[in-house]
A and B are shown apart, each in its own frame.
Chain A
């Protein structure tokens, strides 16, 4: 009854039966786009502020280490600075991994969503726990008197991040390989269909 080629024309006619008042329409759009612009800018400002605060905090910690006469404090503040930067880098790598996984999921059409999402959730929880553990160790090292012990404890900062610094780049690389494979399969299928079409046309 309805699926005919005149559908767009019918819809046009139907909408024309009850058109909105032009002034109100324009006013509504003006307000809407103003609100949207504000939201977009607010989002950008929030993200920018977070980045700025993190880098400032890392740099401030680095400066604190430079300005103190106490060797233990100097080591600890340096470790705090690296602690912030390394975890920020892990967060950044995780975002790239997540985006690649989502692209792969959309391009392949297979329902592998739950598989990588559950894995990602597990790794994220582990990362949060490890981050908390490293922070506590770092905090405790401030109360030490022996600078060798403090330097040793600060070493944990690197070891706790190593796993994630490997996991996400390798994970992303493996996803990219899968993505490339999907692309190649798609390309092969396309060529196959094209050949079949040509064959049927010549017959």
Chain B
């Protein structure tokens, strides 16, 4: 993982020097995950491709502004989040959720279920959640972002991210438990 981060940082530095080959590599390695993330926010596939296009062009245009290449993933998801939100706002489909009550025992709510082997369940569950919860959970599972990084990406407080994650995880726990019982 550490090695991946380092090699990605090198690619980012090359991109800063307008290296087309490095940019192609970055697009190829990040696009599947970015596509999955955007599909969880935006329903229409054509819209997703448009957002992806805009995201990559914005990345290419502004990459010189990115100071720490190791923070590329957070920066990339932030751009795509903003692009997606802009589109949803245009269509009046984006409703910012109010901060839910934060549970004190958030850190102890980890499920003991092996989530890695249950990608299919996670995927099905994501579609059942509200947009805001779905987004946080996608970021959490897809990139393993920290609370702080997720808060930066979706531009809400850390408390809000915690509560959304708590709710989404509980829901996940319920579904997985239900599936086990069946």
Chain A residues with a Cβ under 8 A of chain B = 1-4, 6-7, 9-11, 13-18, 20-21, 24, 28-29, 31-33, 35-37, 39-40, 43
Residues A28 and B120 in contact, CB atoms below 8 Å apart: no
Does B142 contact A11, Cβ atoms closer than 8 Å?
yes
* Interface of B toward A, CB cutoff 8 Å: 1, 18, 20, 23-24, 27, 32-33, 35-36, 39, 45, 49, 52-53, 56-57, 60-61, 110-111, 115-117, 119-120, 122-123, 140-142, 144
A-B contact count (CB 8 A): 76
CB of A35 within 8 A of CB of B57, answer yes
- Which interface residue of A1, A31, A35 has the most chain B CB atoms within 10 A? A1
Q: Nearest-CB distance from B12 to chain A (Å)?
A: 12
A28-B49 in contact (CB<8A): yes
B56 — which chain A residues lie within 8 A by C-beta?
Answer: 32, 36
- B45: chain A residues at CB < 8 Å are 20-21, 24
Q: Note all chain A residues with C-beta closer than 8 A to B110.
A: 1
Contact check, B23 vs A36: say whether CB atoms are below 8 A apart. yes
- 20 residue pairs of the A-B complex, CB under 8 angstroms, read A1-B111, A2-B115, A3-B144, A6-B117, A7-B116, A7-B144, A14-B119, A14-B122, A14-B141, A15-B35, A18-B39, A28-B53, A31-B53, A32-B52, A32-B53, A32-B56, A35-B57, A36-B20, A40-B20, A43-B18
Q: Judging by beta carbons under 8 Å apart, are A2 and B140 in contact?
A: yes
